[in-house]
Structure 1
Amino acid sequence: MTIMYEWRGDFDNASLDALHADGFGHPVDPADWRARLERHSLGWVCAWESGSLIGFVNVAWDGGAHAFLLDTVVAPRCQGRGVGAGLVATAADEARAAKCAWLHVDFEDRLRPFYVDACGFRETAAGLIAL
């Protein structure tokens, strides 16, 4: 099947809720994704296969040079097929087109091979406070 990547793709909240729950392994927790994204994001990328939402990444930003990846998720049945790397590549292209100079991502150690090896991020020192 062909996978289509769409910048600022038109999705419904229920589909993204279901994908998020499936991909992150938690119960469906309804959210108004559309309002959240419109308020805080440079954009987002949807991955579609046969009309179904199979992947998503949010590109938040500071309104200037820095963009940030959040909520990168691929349906478990589609993982290992390059869908996540395609989402990140599209996000990077669109952030670059918006004149961002940097694309940031935080990740758990188990995701290092994906973000560093498959997507080309370089490791940097960073800090985090759990709130």
Structure 2
Amino acid sequence: MTITYEWRGDFDNAALNALHAAGFDYRASDVDWLARVRRHSLGWVCARHGGDLVGFVNVAWDGGVHAFILDTVVAPGHRHCGIGTGLAAEAARQALTAKCEWLHVDFEDDLRSFYFDACGFKSTTAGLIAL
């Protein structure tokens, strides 16, 4: 299976909304992802298989040295073949190119092995306030 990764790649909002719904197991919404990432993000990575959007990660930032990966998603039928790791790796490469010094991620506990073992993130102490 050949997967291509594209930094700041063009995508269709409907395709990304469908990918998010399938990937996070919720009802599809009508988010204008393209406007959102263009306004708030350093960039994003699209993973494609035969032209179909099968993975996505958003790379937000503080405008300085901190970047944050958000919304990492891989289509259910394409999981466990390295696409998520490829998304994270491309996000890290592009954040480094943009002179970021840190790439942050937060995640649910069941993704601990993916982010620490497969992607190379290290455990840190952090805080969170649920709003």
TM-score of the two chains, using structure 2 as the length reference: 0.99
| Residue in structure 2 matched with residue 106 of structure 1 by the alignment | 106
Give matches, 1:1-131, under 5 Å.
1-131=1-131
Amino acid corresponding to residue 83 of structure 2 in structure 1 = V
Q: Where does the alignment leave 5 or more consecutive residues of structure 1 unmatched?
A: none
CA distance in 2, matches of 1:30, 1:68: 23
CA distance in 2, matches of 1:55, 1:38: 18
How many residues end up aligned between the 2 structures?
A: 131
CA distance in 2, matches of 1:51, 1:65: 33
CA distances 1:27-53 after superposition (whole Å, capped 9, x unpaired): 001100011001100000000001100
Secondary structure in structure 2 of the residue aligned to 1:129:
coil
Secondary structure in structure 2 of the residue aligned to 1:26:
coil
**1:80 Cα offset (Å):** 0.2
Amino acid corresponding to residue 9 of structure 2 in structure 1 = G
**1:77 Cα offset (Å):** 0.4
Q: Where does the alignment leave 5 or more consecutive residues of structure 2 unmatched?
A: none
**1:105 Cα offset (Å):** 0.2
Amino acid corresponding to residue 9 of structure 1 in structure 2 = G
Amino acid corresponding to residue 50 of structure 2 in structure 1 = S
Which portions of structure 1, spanning 4 or more consecutive aligned residues, are displaced by more than 4 angstroms? Answer: none
CA distance in 2, matches of 1:52, 1:97: 27
CA RMSD of aligned residues (A): 0.4
Secondary structure in structure 1 of the residue aligned to 2:56:
strand
CA distance in 2, matches of 1:113, 1:106: 13
CA distance in 2, matches of 1:126, 1:30: 32
